[in-house]
Amino acid sequence: DWTMAEFRKTKIAEIRAQVGDKRVICGLSGGVDSAVAAVLIHEAIGDQLTCVFVDHGLMRMNEAEQVVTLFRDHYNIPLVHVEAEELFLGGLAGLTDPEAKRKFIGKTFIDVFETEAKKIGGADFLAQGTLYPDVIESVSFTGGPSVTIKSHHNVGGLPERMNMQLVEPLRELFKDEVRDLGRELGLPPAFVGRHPFPGPGLAIRIPGEVTKERCDILRKADAIYLEEIRNAGLYDAIWQAFAVLLPVKTVGVMGDARTYDSVCALRAVTSTDGMTADVFPYDAGFLTRVATRIVNEVQGINRVVYDYTSKPPGTIEWE
Ligand code: XMP
Report, as ranges of residue numbers, the positions in the chain whose pLDDT lies below 50: 140-146
What would the pLDDT profile of 182-202 be if each residue is shown by its tens digit? Answer: 999 999 998 999 999 999 999
Name the residue range of residue 70's domain: 4-192
CATH (domain of 16): 3.40.50.620
Asked if residue 219 and residue 175 are part of one domain, the reply reads no
The total number of structural domains in the chain stands at: 2
What's the pLDDT at 144?
41
What's the pLDDT at 102?
97
Closest-CA residue, ligand 1 atom 9, reads 198
Query: Position 227: which residue type?
Result: E
For the four alpha carbons of 106, 111, 112 and 116, in that order, the dihedral sign comes to positive
Cβ pair 268, 282 in contact under 8 A? yes
Q: Is residue 313 part of a domain?
A: no
Q: Is residue 252 part of a domain?
A: yes
Report which ligand 1 atom has the smallest distance to the Cα of 151.
17
Report which ligand 1 atom has the smallest distance to the Cα of 33.
15
Asked if residue 285 and residue 157 are part of one domain, the reply reads no
Say if the ipTM goes beyond 0.90.
yes
Report the predicted TM-score, pTM, of the whole model to 2 decimal places. 0.91
Cβ pair 28, 64 in contact under 8 A? no
Asked if residue 95 and residue 49 are part of one domain, the reply reads yes
What's the pLDDT at 143?
40
Asked if residue 129 and residue 17 are part of one domain, the reply reads yes
Q: Which residues are annotated as a binding site for ATP?
A: 29-35
Q: How far apart are CA 158 and CA 154, in angstroms?
A: 9
What's the pLDDT at 147?
55
Name residues contacting ligand 1 (CB within 6 A): 150, 152-153, 196, 198-200, 240, 274, 311, 315-317
Q: Which residues are annotated as a binding site?
A: 29-35
Mutate to test the pocket of ligand 1, among 60, 128, 307, 317 (most ligand atoms within 8 A of CB): 317
Residue 312: is the preceding peptide bond cis (ω within 30°)?
yes
Residue 57: Cβ within 10 Å count: 19
